[in-house]
């Protein structure tokens, strides 16, 4: 590892905003010099921590004998619930996530104690030597188990409008159906990790791979029994988070900190892949049931939709995630008479958590399934039925939760994509191919996306920033957002460079730290750039205003006459280099640092009824996917993908394109490849890449065309951009429906029942069911 990667002499474009600027860490990633927590030089005396895990899904702990653990060579300390000075909990919303189980275990892999040793191997080996006796209790593993046992983490919620049941009874057509969709492991390249370094007088400094440094700070402080101002959490970057580090880093940060606090030595806890998959929550799997009434065009008149989710053993973010599923169960479609009921089941499995889309994909897959089934029932082009149901104009612009859709562009995206992808011509060609091909069948599908931007928990929509300008004119930027590969740091730096009119190379991006910007929200809900971009813009404007007042006074001009551009400040014939201005301002005793703050306007939603305006705006997209399936093996191959995605006035088109491509591929993994299997005892059988298949390069189609729509956001976001992190994930719903279309071409008629993920087994079963006319 070379100490310093060569800086490439890429010209710095000005203004930086809206330009294709590479990710600030790209050269370091390529050179292998980007530091993740495990790359940090290890402090002297570092201890390595491993966790003892429950072997049972639901059991009373009768005894724990840790003598063999303590006696293992190299072991320095063992920490159990009895050793926690503060609160034994890291629940982010509800206090139901013990750090170490006391008398009850509720999932296989639940943490029981921490062991600290001189080496990681010793800690891991010692952790396995605990002798635990359990009294097993009946375990609720599946959604069906939870439904039967009436087991919930939170009470059900319902959104209802019009007369769904009455209209269903009189609708010209009526169809019922069901759909199960699996969960998804985050499979971030960097697993969960924390290194806790004890300071003087009870201080703790934690390097942590988390999307939510402030929450980790708060929960660790609470566990240590200290005020928040003793704990600093620092995150330079994550090797991916995808929602999996929104709440679930806290357990590991707490365990490392408890060890560090007790021993006075630094302590690091890094999970290996298997432990990470077993011990951390995943995307919620859902079961969906529907009863829909519609007319001969497939236009929905009434819908009664039930969403059931497996939340796992604790509440975590399941409330907000299931709310978001409800908020996306309309997708782009006007549902005049609608009842949506959402069940949040408690099971004895790991607590499920945020994952890109945060319930949105599940709600959207549900309604897309309904619309697709209607189309197959009527024997019509699914795209025509989708069109017939789109939001549009007065009388058809109100969501089930009462928010008016004012910025709808899905109709025009579908029009553009239908022609640019040659959808109709390809449909005809596919029909001809299928007629001549007995074994291989092709399918194509086009689906739209409408995704609401803002945390539905309204108070989270706030952000802060701290900007420092040094006397050489260089700028240090800090804000509450975290970098997980999405390019947030680069985007925010672009915004700040432009406020000062300086090159991006003059703005230094620094690690997110709770002692620089306090009380931040998680970097989540795709709102990172919206929130932190605006807070940083405000901080930079504060400093620029001070500089303007100062230099305008010297020059005897109005501050509004000044221009900050190309590293200079000018007004008429006056000009000064930005660095010189800063130095003069310093000598004139003008403050060169400022904080900035931003809170999203206009949003307001009732958290019980879910009625209101949860979102500031919507981001839109549309995709056409084409697949081929082998009706003898159930294998599928994605042949071609065409995407049109709405980024508003993109802050950085090349980064946004990366987000769209990555999100589509990750969504395709969820719906086609990645299968989580728990056995009857609640053990996760798919806990390594050997048994859990994420997309690889070979799964990306040869034709993968992404076009960005860059029309300005109608709302006043930072430079009129739109959030992009999650919305394109749901473009992959088109791939799943393309498989359904191919299955339909294998024979039979009517809706295709195919649960997700559409693995070869499921595709084969769906094909066989249609060919034998049994239905699934
Ligand atoms: N992109 C990369 N490369 N790595 C990630 O972990 N997380 C996604 C998305 N894109 C993620 C990513 C998720 S779940 C969210 S909410 C957003 O990025 C968060 O970042 P943003 O708010 O800055 O878009
Ligand atoms: Mo993303 S699931 O909101 O971290």
- pLDDT the model gives residue 410: 98
Over residues 445-477, the pLDDT tens digits come to: 999 999 999 999 999 999 999 999 999 999 999
How far apart are alpha carbons 476 and 364 in whole angstroms? Answer: 41
Nearest CA to ligand 1 atom 3: 485
The rounded Å distance from CA 528 to ligand 2 centre is: 10
pLDDT classification of 393: cutoffs 50, 70, 90: confident
Best substitution site from 524, 659, 723, 730 to test ligand 2's pocket, by max atoms within 8 Å of Cβ? Answer: 524
pLDDT score of 9 more than 70: no
**Would the CB of 356 count as within 6 Å of ligand 1?**
yes
Over residues 96-143, the pLDDT tens digits come to: 999 999 999 999 999 999 999 999 999 999 999 999 999 999 999 999
Q: What is the CB neighbour count within 10 angstroms for residue 206?
A: 28
How far apart are alpha carbons 528 and 721 in whole angstroms? Answer: 12
- pLDDT the model gives residue 1: 40
pLDDT score of 640 more than 80: yes
- pLDDT the model gives residue 4: 53
Best substitution site from 244, 357, 484, 731 to test ligand 1's pocket, by max atoms within 8 Å of Cβ? Answer: 484
Mean pLDDT of the chain: 97
Over residues 270-321, the pLDDT tens digits come to: 999 999 999 999 999 999 999 999 999 999 999 999 999 999 999 999 999 9
Best substitution site from 187, 191, 726 to test ligand 1's pocket, by max atoms within 8 Å of Cβ? Answer: 726
Of 546, 515, 542, give the one whose Cα is nearest residue 597: 542
- pLDDT the model gives residue 13: 81
**Would the CB of 356 count as within 6 Å of ligand 2?**
yes
**Would the CB of 188 count as within 6 Å of ligand 2?**
no
Beta bridge partners of 343: 308
The residue-averaged pLDDT of 373-395 equals 96
- pLDDT the model gives residue 2: 43
How far from 331 is each of 325, 335, 382, 750, CA to CA, in Å? 10, 10, 15, 23
Of 318, 300, 299, 298, give the one whose Cα is nearest residue 308: 318
- pLDDT the model gives residue 314: 98
Best substitution site from 212, 241, 487, 664 to test ligand 1's pocket, by max atoms within 8 Å of Cβ? Answer: 241
- pLDDT the model gives residue 774: 61
Over residues 17-41, the pLDDT tens digits come to: 999 999 999 999 999 999 999 999 9
Looking at the CA of 663, which ligand is closest? 1
Q: Count of residues for the chain? A: 776
> Cis before residue 361, ω within 30 degrees of 0?
no
**Would the CB of 242 count as within 6 Å of ligand 1?**
yes
**Would the CB of 246 count as within 6 Å of ligand 2?**
yes
pLDDT score of 367 more than 70: yes
Strands, DSSP E only, in 631-667?
Answer: 636-646
The rounded Å distance from CA 526 to ligand 1 centre is: 6
How far apart are alpha carbons 725 and 184 in whole angstroms? Answer: 17
The rounded Å distance from CA 244 to ligand 2 centre is: 8
**Would the CB of 284 count as within 6 Å of ligand 2?**
no
The residue-averaged pLDDT of 65-69 equals 98
Q: Which residues are catalytic?
A: 726
Beta bridge partners of 175: 292
Count CA atoms closer than 13 A to 226's CA, side-chain side.
17
Over residues 713-744, the pLDDT tens digits come to: 999 999 999 999 999 999 999 999 999 999 99
pLDDT classification of 7: cutoffs 50, 70, 90: low
What's the angle, vertex CA 669, arms to CA 379 and CA 707, rounded to 5?
A: 75
Which tokens is 494 given?
């672009």
How far apart are alpha carbons 22 and 493 in whole angstroms? Answer: 12
The residue-averaged pLDDT of 184-188 equals 98
322, 344 contact by CB (below 8 A):
yes
The residue-averaged pLDDT of 420-449 equals 98
The rounded Å distance from CA 519 to ligand 1 centre is: 20
Atom of ligand 2 nearest to the CA of 526: 3
Which H/E stretch holds residue 326?
A: helix 318-327
Of 466, 460, 477, give the one whose Cα is nearest residue 527: 460
Task: Read off the pTM.
Answer: 0.97
**Would the CB of 368 count as within 6 Å of ligand 2?**
no
Which tokens is 560 given?
């509004």
**Would the CB of 648 count as within 6 Å of ligand 2?**
no
How far apart are alpha carbons 532 and 536 in whole angstroms? Answer: 6
Nearest CA to ligand 2 atom 4: 243
Which tokens is 375 given?
């189309």
**Would the CB of 243 count as within 6 Å of ligand 2?**
yes
pLDDT classification of 11: cutoffs 50, 70, 90: low
The rounded Å distance from CA 731 to ligand 1 centre is: 16
Looking at the CA of 659, which ligand is closest? 1
Over residues 334-362, the pLDDT tens digits come to: 999 999 999 999 999 999 999 999 999 99
């Amino acid at each position: 590892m070379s100490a310093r990667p060569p800086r490439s002499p890429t010209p710095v474009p000005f203004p930086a905003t809206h330009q294709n600027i590479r990710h600030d860490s790209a050269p370091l990633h390529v050179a292998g010099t980007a530091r993740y927590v495990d790359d940090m030089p290890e402090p002297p005396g570092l201890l390595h921590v491993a966790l003892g895990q429950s072997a049972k899904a639901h059991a009373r702990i009768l005894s724990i004998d840790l003598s063999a653990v303590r006696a293992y060579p190299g072991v320095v300390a063992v920490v159990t619930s009895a050793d926690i000075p503060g609160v034994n909990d890291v629940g982010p919303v509800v206090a139901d996530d013990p750090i170490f189980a006391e008398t009850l275990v509720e999932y296989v892999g639940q943490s029981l104690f921490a062991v600290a040793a001189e080496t990681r191997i010793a800690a891991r080996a010692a952790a396995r030597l605990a002798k635990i006796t359990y009294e097993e209790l009946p375990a609720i593993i599946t959604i069906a188990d939870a439904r039967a046992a009436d087991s919930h983490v939170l009470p059900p919620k319902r959104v209802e409008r019009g007369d769904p049941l009455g209209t269903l009874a009189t609708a010209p057509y009526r169809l019922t159906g069901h759909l199960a969709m699996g969960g998804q492991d985050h499979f971030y390249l960097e697993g969960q990790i924390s290194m806790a370094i004890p300071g003087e007088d009870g201080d703790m400094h934690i390097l942590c791979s988390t999307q939510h440094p402030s929450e980790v700070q708060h929960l660790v402080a609470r566990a240590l029994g200290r005020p928040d101002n003793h704990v600093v959490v620092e995150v330079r970057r994550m090797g991916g988070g995808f929602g999996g580090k929104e709440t679930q880093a806290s357990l590991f940060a707490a365990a490392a900190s408890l060890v560090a606090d007790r021993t006075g030595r630094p302590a690091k806890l890094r999970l290996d892949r298997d432990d990470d998959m077993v011990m951390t929550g995943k995307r919620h799997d859902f079961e969906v049931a529907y009863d829909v009434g519609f007319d001969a065009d497939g236009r929905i008149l009434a819908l009664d939709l039930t969403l059931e989710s497996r939340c796992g053993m604790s509440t975590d973010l399941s409330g907000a995630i299931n709310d978001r599923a409800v908020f996306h169960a309309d997708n782009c479609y006007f549902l005049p008479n609608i009842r949506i009921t959402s069940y949040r089941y408690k099971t004895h499995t790991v607590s499920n958590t945020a994952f890109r889309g945060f319930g949105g994909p599940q709600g959207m897959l549900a309604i897309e399934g309904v619309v697709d089934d209607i189309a197959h029932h009527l024997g019509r082009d699914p795209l025509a039925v989708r069109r017939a149901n789109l939001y549009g104009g007065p009388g058809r612009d109100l969501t089930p939760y009462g928010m008016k859709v004012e910025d709808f562009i899905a109709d025009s995206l579908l029009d553009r994509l239908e022609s640019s992808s040659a959808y109709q011509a390809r449909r005809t060609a596919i029909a001809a191919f299928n007629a001549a091909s007995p074994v291989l069948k092709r399918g194509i599908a086009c689906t739209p996306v409408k995704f609401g931007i803002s945390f539905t928990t309204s108070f989270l929509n706030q952000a802060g920033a701290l900007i420092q300008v040094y006397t050489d004119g260089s700028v240090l930027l800090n804000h509450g957002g975290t970098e997980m590969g999405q390019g947030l740091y680069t985007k925010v730096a672009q915004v700040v460079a432009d406020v000062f009119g300086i090159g991006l190379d003059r703005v230094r991006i620094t690690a997110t730290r709770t002692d620089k910007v306090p009380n931040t929200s998680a970097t989540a809900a795709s709102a990172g750039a919206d929130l932190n971009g605006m807070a940083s813009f405000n901080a930079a404007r504060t400093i620029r205003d001070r500089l303007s007042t100062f230099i305008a006074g010297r020059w005897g001009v109005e501050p509004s006459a000044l221009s900050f551009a190309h590293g200079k400040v000018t007004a008429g014939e006056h000009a000064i280099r930005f660095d010189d201005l800063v130095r003069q301002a310093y000598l004139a005793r003008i403050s060169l640092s400022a904080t900035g703050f931003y809170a999203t306007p206009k949003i307001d939603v009732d958290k019980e009824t879910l009625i209101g305006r949860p979102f500031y705006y919507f981001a839109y997209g549309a995709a056409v996917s084409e697949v081929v399936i082998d009706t003898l093996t159930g294998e599928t191959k994605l042949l071609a993908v065409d995407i049109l995605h709405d980024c508003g006035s993109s802050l950085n088109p090349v980064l946004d394109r990366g987000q769209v491509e990555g999100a589509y591929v990750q969504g395709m993994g969820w719906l086609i490849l990645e299968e989580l299997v728990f056995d009857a005892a609640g053990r996760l059988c798919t806990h390594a890449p050997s048994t859990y298949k994420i997309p690889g390069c070979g799964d990306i189609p040869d034709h993968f065309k992404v076009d960005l729509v860059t029309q300005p956001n109608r709302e006043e976001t930072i430079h009129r951009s739109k959030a992009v992190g999650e919305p394109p994930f749901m473009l992959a719903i088109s791939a799943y429906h393309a498989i359904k279309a191919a299955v339909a071409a294998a024979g039979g008629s009517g809706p295709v029942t195919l649960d997700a993920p559409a693995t070869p087994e499921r595709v084969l079963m769906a094909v066989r069911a249609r060919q034998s006319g049994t239905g699934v």
